[in-house]
Amino acid sequence: MGSLFASATLSDDVFGEKVSAPFTYGASFGGIFFLRKNHQWTGTLRVARAMSYSAYSIQLQENVNYSDSSVVSFKGEYLWDFMSHVQLRPFAVVAIDQQPTQSFVTNNEKRTLEYTAGTKVTLGAELRATF
C-alpha cells in the first residue's frame, strides 16, 4: 500500500492579522503481513515536508517566518479482529522530526528560535467498529 499526499490551508484573519499554515507534501509506503487468522501486522514508512511560510503570532504580536520542516516516521501496528465487526489496533510510531526555525522582530531586534531534529515515540491503541 502507498499514498502521495499534499495539504494546504487557507490563511485566516485573527485580530486583523493574517494567520496561515504551511503547504505540506509527502508520501507513505507500507505493507500488511498476515500472522494467523484474525491477526495481522502493518508497517508504514511516512515522509513529509512542510514548506516555509509566515504567520502572525498572537503570543508575540508579531509576524513570524517559519522555515522548511520535515518528518520521517515508521509506524508498526498490530491488527486483531476479535469480533466480526470490531478490531483492536495497538501501535507504535517512531519519528525523526525537524521543527521549523522561527525568526521574528521584537523591539526592533531580529530574533531566531532554532530547533535540532529530535526523535519522538508515540504509543497508542485504536478500537474500530464497522456497522
- The rounded distance, in Å, linking the Cα atoms of 98 and 85 is 39
Tens digits of residue pLDDT in 99-130: 899 998 888 889 898 888 899 999 999 999 98
Q: How confident is the model over 53-73, as a mean pLDDT?
A: 88
pLDDT value at position 63?
A: 84
- The rounded distance, in Å, linking the Cα atoms of 79 and 86 is 10
3-state helix, strand, coil in the chain (%, to 5): 0, 75, 25
Domain boundaries, the chain: 2-129
Please determine, for residue 84, whether its predicted confidence score (pLDDT) is greater than 80: yes
pLDDT value at position 11?
A: 74
Prediction pTM value: 0.77
In DSSP terms, which residues pair with 131 in a beta bridge? Answer: none
The string of DSSP codes covering 50-101 is E--EEEEETTTTEEEEE--EEEEEEEEEEEEEEETTEEEEEEEEEEEEEPPP
Instruction: Please tell me whether residue 9 adopts helix, strand or coil conformation.
Output: coil
